Chains A and B, each alone.
Chain A
Amino acid sequence: MKLKQLIRSFAVAGLALAMLPAHAEKTVLNVYTALETDQLKAYQEAFNKSHPDVEIKWTRDSTGIITAKLLAEKAKPVADVIMGVAASSMVVFDREKMLQPYAPANLKALNPRFRSAGATPTWVGMDVWGAAICYNVAEMQKQGLPRIESWKDLLKPEFKGKIVMPNPNSSGTGFLDVTAWLQMFGEKGGWEYMDKLHDNIAVYTHSGSKPCVMAGAGEFPVGISFEYRANTVRAKGAPIDIIFPKEGLGWDMESIAIVKGTPKLDAAKKLSDWATTREANELYAKNFAVVAMPGIATRLKYVPNDYEQRLVKNDFEWMGKNRDAILAEWQKRYSTKSEPKK
């Protein structure tokens, strides 16, 4: 009898012990992201201040790798939340029915452009990342190159073999440049522009950051890249000017979505709610000129005040629908004759 009691009390104590940490234990949230490491730290700290019970585990890589990884894991997703990944990738996930529709608490306070279509959005935008040209001023002076203000300036014969841009087949940034030209200059005008630009391109890279990095290192004086990377390369001491061509800029959004079927839906919703708060948007504004919440002052050092007006009217539906056709046409025109320039 005594022994039985003893065992029972042990069992109860053991059970209590086993449950105790379970209560105190944090929910671990797997978040896949393409955000920069330093941003991750800031976002995580701010989020944990209001939600200390959720521990974020980041898996960070470039947009292309993260997107490929998420698609490959489709059958049994590891990620609970996707954060800071391009809207164009989110459109793909959405088409594959991988996203959980959810309206974050603060959705109404956001610019209506920053969400997927439909009654309940499957993804919500965080900030805009737009095209920019990195122009190495040291090389400009050394080689006596003309100033650049517009996309058309890049067609000048002085720039032959001096421009680098991302290949739209392997880089989202490259694709948004191409779609912006097609939307701004029209179908015919856009391809004509690219035909001439092609004559001046030294190398098509496989990443959207690389052109700016190469321009910064003086490999090629002009790199067609994007605003965030341009700012960081410049901050690192590269002698570059950041140019936002006046005709208009292609852009995409960093966005957040919940993965369908996640066992940690509550924690995922918390992160999604937080990502739409003013606090979060103010953090985005430290790195990006245009964020989802209107009226947040974003004065980045090297970004002009009318930046938002320069963004082209992007039609994500049109981009998604015509993606294959545009890329095939690009491939046909520029990859077969892309031997190095003489």
Chain B
Amino acid sequence: MILRRPLVFRSGAERLPGVLLLGAAVALALFLVLPLLALLVGSVRDDDGAFSLLRFVEFAATPGMATAAWNTLWVAALVTVITVPLAFLYAYAIQRACLPLRGLWRLIGLSALLGPSLVGAIAFIQWFGTQGVLKAWLGGASVYGPVGIVMATVYAAFPHALMILVVALATADGRLYEAADALGASRWRRFRTVTLPAAKYGLISAALVVFAYSVSEFGIPKVIGGNFPVLAVEVYVQVVGQHNFGRGAIVALLLLLPVLFAFAIDTWVQRRQQASLTARAVPYQPRPDRRRDLPLLLYCLLLATAMFCVLGMAMYTSLVRFWPYNLELTFDHYIYGLAEAGVLAAWQNSLKIAALTALFGTPLVFLTAWLLERTPARPAALGTAVRAMAALPMGVPGLVLGIGYILFFNSPDNPLNGLYHTLTIMVVATVVHFYTPCHLTAVTALKSLDREFEAVSASLKVSRFVTLWRVTLPVCLPAVLEIARYLFINAMTTVSALVFLYSSETLPAAVAILNLDEAGELGPAAAMATLIVLTSALISLVYSLLTHLLLRRHQAWRHFQR
């Protein structure tokens, strides 16, 4: 349609970005905001469905809610303070030092994503619990409680932060570093005045994502939290334990507050962020430097070992007969626990969901981010609305999203109700659930690009879309590929939203793990988890190889100096 008449193309192209952005806004409203509203209206209705604020009064009077809210906040703050520096240094080592096997460090850094968060929490119990080898490290404190929650959440949130920070540190203007060197700036001063400011947006985004992740994650505190009350578990207790959707909605509403706060910060920071990679920039190339590389290599090795131990515990458990009393090695859990129990179909379902999520989610996220960042002339309110909706998913526990989807899409009045109980709706829910970190990654990448690229294109009378295709997309390719991988491996392991949406034919593997663990089948649960981890790892590796070739072609400009 566009190609038919060049004239229409030009005037259409003026309007097209606005129309596309409107499309994105409608999609997000339909698949995020309306389902949430379907649940949240319950908070202002009494048992007979009439409008009432009774539930808020009731909620305020519930004992222990203030404690739970306070616990949620300080745990999330602590997790953020620990995770972001850890992830930043790791990303710095990958991007700004000359380490051997960079791809491997990166993969291990993302390894926590390869298994469901439940697996991480179980592994921490196995290491530090009553029967744990490393129990003594906790100095008498119980792993069930804040200690366990913080450890398991830091582990689980690490890759989410890493993804954003790796992208934030991917590009830098080499001229600034040369200037700093020429002026005789110390290493620390150079880091503080050149590296940090350029990565500021990524750092803040990462902190927001980690904070929101910690607030809304209920799987970890449910398993390892003991009697330590936090709000996300309270949603679970209300919705799944007591089937009181109205009260669950109130807690869910409360969980959205930190997101609002985060969104405000994000908007504020965005106004101050400037592109680090101007059109005249010379890409920064780290040169080998033993004094920097050796400690960073050690650091990576240390963290990678720790992360590997968590997954390694799950793998080990899948191979012993009955942890911790019968440590005889066996393949029985794979043969009888998985193959013969017919759970392997779940693994195929997950693969399908993951592939579709990456395939459709990546273009959607990137295009929307590009429209927001790189196209002018549209009502400002539309941009703000899309930005707000893109930030929203990180504060929504999957559980809330899942119930909202049922209430909204299964309603007889909804013309879309044919979608309910299909694989499509599971893919959509997964894209929406993981939207925020992907969006922030895309925005981080786009922000580092100078607007001059568009200005030059415009003066050369080249369409915006051609610039996107020829310049922006190739430059941002690492981020795009990162998003695709992130969506894929998260879709392989996510439980919370999908647990309400699967039908008899579409049981995903991570839900199967949850059920096996629930039934005390730790061995088969670990076997299934191992299977998922190995699948995701294998696909990540193949993916890395493919993208390596692709990047060599499209990222040649990074090695311009030679």
A residues near B (Cβ < 8 Å) are 30, 36-38, 57-62, 64-65, 67-69, 71-73, 75-76, 78, 92, 138, 167, 169-171, 201-204, 206-207, 209-210, 212-213, 216-220, 229, 232-233, 236-239, 327, 331-332, 335-336, 338-341
Asked if A62 contacts B518 (CB within 8 A), the reply is: yes
B interface: dominant SS? loop
Q: Which 5 A-B pairs have the closest CB atoms?
A: A170-B241, A338-B227, A213-B520, A72-B406, A57-B504
Chain A residue contacts of B245, Cβ below 8 A = 71-72
Asked if B142 contacts A68 (CB within 8 A), the reply is: no
> Smallest CB–CB gap between A331 and chain B, Å?
6
> Smallest CB–CB gap between A276 and chain B, Å?
24
Asked whether A232 and B410 contact (CB < 8 A) given A30-B504, A68-B403, A332-B63, the answer is no
Which of A36, A217, A327, A332 has most B Cβ within 10 Å?
A217
B376 within 8 A of A: no
Chain B residue contacts of A340, Cβ below 8 A = 141-142, 144-145, 226-228
B22 within 8 A of A: no
Chain A residue contacts of B417, Cβ below 8 A = 76
B352 within 8 A of A: no
A41–B407 Cα distance when bound, in Å, is 31
Stretch at the interface among B13-21, B83-91, B260-268, B323-331: B323-331
A59–B511 Cα distance when bound, in Å, is 12
Chain A residue contacts of B240, Cβ below 8 A = 64-65, 67-68, 170
A37–B336 Cα distance when bound, in Å, is 13
B492 within 8 A of A: no
B52 within 8 A of A: no
A315–B407 Cα distance when bound, in Å, is 33
| 26 residue pairs bridging A and B, Cβ less than 8 Å apart | A36-B519, A38-B341, A57-B505, A59-B502, A68-B403, A76-B412, A170-B236, A170-B237, A170-B241, A170-B242, A201-B227, A204-B227, A207-B518, A216-B520, A218-B324, A219-B129, A229-B520, A232-B519, A238-B322, A238-B520, A332-B63, A335-B229, A338-B229, A339-B228, A340-B142, A340-B228
A171–B511 Cα distance when bound, in Å, is 18
Chain B residue contacts of A62, Cβ below 8 A = 515, 518
> Smallest CB–CB gap between B42 and chain A, Å?
11
B193 within 8 A of A: no
A338–B233 Cα distance when bound, in Å, is 14
> Smallest CB–CB gap between B519 and chain A, Å?
6
A335–B234 Cα distance when bound, in Å, is 11
- Contact among B410, B502, B522 for A217, CB-based, below 8 A: B522
B130 within 8 A of A: yes
Asked if B63 contacts A209 (CB within 8 A), the reply is: no
> Smallest CB–CB gap between A290 and chain B, Å?
21
Asked if A336 contacts B325 (CB within 8 A), the reply is: no
Q: Which residue of B lies closest to A323 (CB)?
A: B242
Total interface residues on B, CB under 8 Å, equals: 57
- Contact among A59, A170, A237 for B503, CB-based, below 8 A: A59
> Smallest CB–CB gap between B481 and chain A, Å?
35
Chain A residue contacts of B424, Cβ below 8 A = none
B residues near A (Cβ < 8 Å) are 62-64, 67, 125, 129-131, 141-142, 144-145, 222, 226-229, 233, 236-237, 239-243, 245, 321-326, 341-342, 403, 406-407, 410-412, 417, 420-421, 499-500, 502-505, 511, 515, 517-522
Asked if A339 contacts B227 (CB within 8 A), the reply is: yes
Asked if A37 contacts B341 (CB within 8 A), the reply is: yes
Which of B236, B241, B323 has most A Cβ within 10 Å?
B241
> Smallest CB–CB gap between B547 and chain A, Å?
37
- Contact among B62, B410, B500 for A65, CB-based, below 8 A: B500
Asked if B233 contacts A65 (CB within 8 A), the reply is: no
A210–B515 Cα distance when bound, in Å, is 11
Chain B residue contacts of A65, Cβ below 8 A = 240, 499-500
Chain B residue contacts of A331, Cβ below 8 A = 62-64
Asked if B500 contacts A72 (CB within 8 A), the reply is: yes
Asked if A335 contacts B520 (CB within 8 A), the reply is: no
- Contact among A207, A229, A237, A338 for B322, CB-based, below 8 A: A237
Asked if B243 contacts A67 (CB within 8 A), the reply is: yes
A167–B227 Cα distance when bound, in Å, is 10
Chain A residue contacts of B236, Cβ below 8 A = 170, 206
Q: Which residue of B lies closest to A76 (CB)?
A: B412
- Contact among B130, B504, B520 for A212, CB-based, below 8 A: B520
Chain A residue contacts of B520, Cβ below 8 A = 209, 212-213, 216, 229, 232-233, 236, 238
Q: Which residue of A lies closest to B322 (CB)?
A: A237
A206–B323 Cα distance when bound, in Å, is 22
Chain B residue contacts of A138, Cβ below 8 A = 325
Chain A residue contacts of B141, Cβ below 8 A = 340
Chain B residue contacts of A60, Cβ below 8 A = 515
Asked if A202 contacts B144 (CB within 8 A), the reply is: yes
Q: Which residue of B lies closest to A162 (CB)?
A: B130
A76–B397 Cα distance when bound, in Å, is 24
A72-B410, A213-B519, A233-B520 given; name 12 further pairs at CB < 8 Å. A37-B342, A59-B502, A59-B504, A64-B241, A67-B240, A75-B410, A169-B237, A169-B241, A209-B519, A237-B322, A340-B145, A340-B226
